Amino acid sequence: MSDPRKAVSRIRGKRKLVIVKDPVDIRIEEAMAQVAADDLYQTQVSTIRDRSLEKAKKVRLMIAEQKQREYDRSREIEKKRLKNLTKARRALRKKRSNEQEKPE
């Protein structure tokens, strides 16, 4: 028969050695991880900022186009009104001149 302690050690497996790192190495790794996380954050922020800027440019352009269309539409309406007013004045002038000529 085998020794019971050996049987237990076979079941549990061999013990792993705990490697104790130098505290300076640990701090360097933490600092490098923090710098990498900050770099990732900055790239994400710049990407979001660029996307927001492009969206703002599109919205500004769209608003400017809408204002220009509204301005053009109002100019067309003004031209039609002026044309109609000119026609009405002409017709009124003609009617008055006909009335002045007819009083017999």
Asked if residue 10 belongs to a domain, the reply is: no
Count of domains forming the chain: 1
Asked if residue 86 belongs to a domain, the reply is: yes
Which residues, other chains included, contact 68 with Cβ-Cβ below 8 Å and sequence gap of 6+?
none
Asked if residue 7 belongs to a domain, the reply is: no
Alpha carbons within 13 A on the beta-carbon side of 8:
3
Asked if residue 94 belongs to a domain, the reply is: yes
Asked if residue 5 belongs to a domain, the reply is: no
Q: One digit per residue, pLDDT tens: the chain, 104 residues?
A: 577 777 777 777 777 778 888 889 999 999 999 999 999 999 999 999 999 999 999 999 999 999 999 999 999 999 999 999 999 999 999 999 888 887 65
Whole-model pTM? 0.52
Range of the domain at 90: 20-101
